[in-house]
Structure 1
């Protein structure tokens, strides 16, 4: 069992946005199924008074990752649109710190740390352990975990609160294997004391 530590632990919710959910322009299979589970984690962290941070793609309308610009993805999560918003079912408290990424037209950013002040905020809060869930396992979750580990944080992947795109068969498993090699600990809600 894992006991949450009041002075060192933060929850990071990665890119749970309308465009990544069923009906969105870049829907992740079963992406909506993680929302009730994430809400339980959010409740636990809120009850303990622990910080919650939520990353989001916040793209300009002509972002380099879009197929119209030669990128791999359909247009998605364009700043100030419905697709970029967090779904109403995701119960983020009002004090959630929002981290916007991939905001520059010519720069992709899969990681919540890439081009943002996420690390600086976490350091200022004195955080040492990050509990990470969200979308998608094989892209933004993987890259956020990768950067968190390189910044020296201990990382817990919320295994019951992630889903993969799986553009290529096996992408999810490759991502999970890499996270394990990075000494990420996989947990589920049942593991929290």
Structure 2
């Protein structure tokens, strides 16, 4: 069975938010199209405590930090219970079956939907073995979620029109797509390229 995984389509990652991804809100149509057709929909949320170690100004012992990037590099974003942490209002959430909060531990980066969550076990319990992935941002949370999903044994399809990149360095999004493809993800251009099977 397939699932649609919507990664961090949240207010703070869209224009006007604390850590806005250029064009982040533009994925709404693709996300909603796929969600309306998917047999099961999972949405993730960055759900950080106020003292999360990724935030600028928060002091973290590097020996205690779990993450691919160093601590203290991002502006404060997606703090638990704040308006910025909410799923984007353009995302029609009626079809959502499960919301997974991530990045809760103060000493863990939490880019991946599978880091310190029960998502892999929950999907297996439902008989899900294929993921269609959209969301924000291509070069961080989407990338790490896709790589971990493949590591966990799931087949993954990434929909290019349903993702946007931060591109801290020019080309980061393109390189992230290349990494996902090299790891075994199928990359398709549009929602119309996805046919869900139960």
User: Residues 123 and 103 from structure 1, CA distance in 2 versus in 1: closer, same or farther, beyond 3 angstroms?
Assistant: same
Partner of 1:41: 34
Q: CA deviation at 1:25?
A: 0.5
Equivalence for 2:40: 51
- Paired residues for 1:106-117 under 5 Å: 106-117=107-118
- Structure 1 residue 69 displacement after superposition: 1.3
Tell me, in whole angstroms, the C-alpha distance in 1 between the residues paired with 2:149 and 2:95: 24
- Name the CA distance, whole Å, in 2 between partners of 1:95 and 1:176: 25
Moved over 4 A (4+): none
- For residues 146-182 of structure 1, the C-alpha deviation after alignment (integer angstroms, 9 at most, x for no partner) is 0000011110001110000000111111101101101
**SS at the partner of 2:57?**
helix
Q: Which runs of 5+ in 1 are unaligned?
A: 1-7
Q: Could you tell me how far 1:95 is from its partner in structure 2?
A: 4.8
Alignment of 1:56-135 (within 5 A): 56-69=45-58, 71-93=72-94, 95-135=96-136
User: C-alpha displacement at 1:94, in angstroms?
Assistant: 6.0
Which of the residues 13, 16, 19 maps onto 1:20?
13
CA drift at 1:96: 2.2
Unaligned 5+ residue runs, structure 2?
60-71
Q: Deviations over 1:117-144 (max 9, x none)?
A: 0001100001111000000000000000
Counterpart CA distance in 1 for 2:47 and 2:78 is: 6
Q: Which residue of 1 aligns with 2:180?
A: 179
1:192 Cα shift? 2.9
1:191 to 187, 190, 193: 193
**Structure 2 CA distance for partners of 1:95 and 1:141, relative to 1, 3 Å:** closer
User: Secondary structure of 1:134's partner?
Assistant: strand
Number of the residue aligned with 2:2: 9
Partners of 2:80 and 2:44 in 1: CA distance:
13
TM-score (norm 1): 0.91
Change (3 A) 1:95 1:145: closer
Q: Secondary structure at the match of 2:73?
A: coil
Per-residue CA distance 1:100-133 (angstroms, 9 max, x = gap): 0010112211000000000011000011110000
